Amino acid sequence: MSFVARNRLSGPLADPAGDAGYPPDHPERVGFFTDTSVCIGCKACEVACKEWNLLPEDGMDLTGMSYDNTGALGATTWRHVAFVEQESTVDLGMPGMGGDQVRWLMSSDVCKHCTHAACLDVCPTGALIRTEHGTVLVQDDVCNGCGYCVPACPYGVIDIRPDTGGAAKCTMCHDRLGAGLMPACATACPTESIQYGPLDELRERAALRVSELHEQGITDARLYGQDPADGVGGAGAFFLLLDEPEVYGLPPDPVVTTRDLPSMWRHAAGAALTAAAVIAGCFLGRKR
Amino acid sequence: MTAAESYYGRPVLKPPVWKVPDVPLYLYLGGLAGASSTMALLADLTGRDRLAGAGRLAAAVGATASVGALVHDLGRPTRFLNMLRVFKPTSPLSVGSWILAPFSALSGAAAASELTGRLPGAGRAAAAIAGAIAPAMTTYTAVLLADTAVPGWHAVYRELPFVFAGSAVSSAGAVGMLAAPEESAPARRMAIAGSVLELVAARRMHRGAGLVGEVYQQGRASAVLRAARTLTCLGLGAAVLAGRSRTARVASGLCLNAAAAATRYGIFEAGRASARDPRYTVMPQRTS
């Protein structure tokens, strides 16, 4: 199938915007590199995102999960700061209070703007599109709220907004990008934990940063989502993490579901032909 | 999995937002309509007029009600039409809409001609084309579920179309037995063969799913699927006896249709359960 041969459904893809049909002079692909080793959990990104994108509040409930009262990414939360409170015997090199030490891992999560975006692939109306910047965007006026993108996303990012009935997620501040500005979250981040820029440049910077941390003895530091050969063809928003991805609520090895779609259609066709053959077989024999 | 290996035990994925009973009904009715339509075509070709008429009516009622269930889930009829603004091979819902729309229109026309006696030639042609598209109706919904990140659905994408095909054939056979008793021999054979196909495919599906297979064996999904299996076996047994006994014929017809609806709901529920528990997202990705 030509889709598979040209890596249209999965695998490395150098230029998603070009693949989507933008002319060769389209802007370069941009993304986020979120370095959680310098995140201080201030939630400025969450607030800036809400402010800029006019997103409503999600309710004022306390989750009881460390300092996280947002819980997860959702239709009206496009940046979410996770607080992982680990009680362990980690030696922080500080005077102890006796008993277990506590360490906090903080990480600002966001839509991954995948190279192969399952949400975009399965959208039946064309409401989800690849933008000229290589990001993934929901066109609100086209979305009919069918909700197919919701279970398709391997990261659990996109959801249906209760107030509009349409699907919604991070746009990477598409309106700001068009005006030559940085996304609101990256602009507001006081520690440069959220870095925005051309994706290739961010990948180089991230590789440097992770080797720097390894030299400092922080061997748990690892990059997540930067590999163009991974299950989603490399994410447009990737992370430097200090523990396993699932600790932060991220899937360890996500795969774009449409990778298997040719096989799914083949099995469905086989089953449909089986059904036809079974029914036809039942009509053989004596008439009554 | 300990709490440290997921983010406060929260799901990684967003569970499907599709409503109950709308979507399970949509899955059941689409299968019933598809297999009924092919049954009608073959009955027509072999000169069984009563069975052909019953099949056409079941196809039209099933397809129309299936569109109704989809529209109810979406909220507004225009949203179904919005699905037809593009054709997207990577979206099973788009492909499905393009199967469902002509199928339901043709089945409706065939049934209208059947009921009114007008334009019998056109009605027959419509029924014939619908009957040829129809096997696709019985299995595309399996791809619709499987082409998601939902572990319980994606893991079984090879077997699911065969479960749906078997279930569709048996429920259509059951309708044929109920509605056209004097020509019910092929319908009875459909009920038997479809049930056997469904039982065998479901067994393979539960065994081949690995860790995620647990969701089919616990909680509400397990109870519903057990009920479906019992009803299928009862319906199958009754179908064997239905050649001689009117009671057995009616019992079989009712059991098999209840079983088909329960099968769809059970599988739907198992998928939702698998999306809610981070174990089923994280652990298979860790071992693969």
Give dist(CA A255, CA A248) in Å, integer: 18
Whether the CB of B2 is below 8 Å from some CB of chain A: the reply is: no
Contact A271/B94, CB-based, under 8 Å?
A: no
Report if residue B114 sits inside a domain: yes
Binding-site residues of A for [4Fe-4S] cluster, please?
Answer: 39, 42, 45, 49, 111, 114, 119, 123, 143, 146, 149, 153, 170, 173, 185, 189
Residues 259 through 288 of chain B touching chain A, CB cutoff 8 Å: 271, 275, 278, 281-282, 285-286, 288
ipTM: 0.96
Give dist(CA A258, CA B95) in Å, integer: 14
Beta strands in chain A (DSSP E): 30-35, 79-88, 101-110, 128-130, 136-138, 159-160, 167-168, 194-198, 222-224, 237-241
Give dist(CA A142, CA A125) in Å, integer: 7
Distance from the Cα of A260 to chain B's closest Cα (Å) equals 8
Cβ contacts (< 8 Å) between B45 and chain A: which residues? Answer: 283
Q: pLDDT tens string for chain B (288 positions)? A: 554 579 999 999 999 999 999 999 999 999 999 999 999 999 999 999 999 999 999 999 999 999 999 999 999 899 999 999 999 999 999 999 999 999 999 999 999 999 999 999 999 999 999 999 999 999 999 999 999 999 999 999 999 999 999 999 999 999 999 999 999 999 999 999 999 999 999 999 998 899 999 999 999 999 999 999 999 999 999 999 998 899 999 999 999 999 999 999 999 999 999 999 999 999 999 986
For range A251-266, the mean pLDDT = 97
Q: What is the pLDDT of residues A91-123, one digit of tens each?
A: 556 555 556 678 899 999 999 999 999 999 999
Range of the domain at B83: 17-279
A178: Cβ–Cβ under 8 A, 6 or more apart, which residues?
Answer: none
Residue A1, pLDDT score: 43
Q: Which domain CATH number covers B86? A: 1.20.1630.10
Q: What is the pLDDT of residues B120-169, one digit of tens each?
A: 999 999 999 999 999 999 999 999 999 999 999 999 999 999 999 999 99
Q: Is the pLDDT of residue A6 over 60?
A: yes
Contact B281/A251, CB-based, under 8 Å?
A: yes
Contact A247/B35, CB-based, under 8 Å?
A: no
Report if residue B7 sits inside a domain: no
pLDDT band per the 50, 70, 90 thresholds, residue A87: confident
Report if residue B33 sits inside a domain: yes
Which of A186, A193, A188, A203 shows the shortest CA–CA distance to A38? Answer: A193
Give dist(CA B110, CA B62) in Å, integer: 13
Give dist(CA B38, CA B132) in Å, integer: 7
| Nearest residue in chain A measured CA to CA from B165 | A275
Contact A274/B91, CB-based, under 8 Å?
A: no
Left, alpha or beta for A99 (phi > 0: left; psi -120 to 50: alpha)?
left
Contact B139/A249, CB-based, under 8 Å?
A: no
User: What's the domain count of chain B?
Assistant: 1
Q: What is the pLDDT of residues B163-205, one digit of tens each?
A: 999 999 999 999 999 999 999 999 999 999 999 999 999 999 9
| Nearest residue in chain B measured CA to CA from A282 | B186
DSSP state of B209: T
| Nearest residue in chain B measured CA to CA from A249 | B7
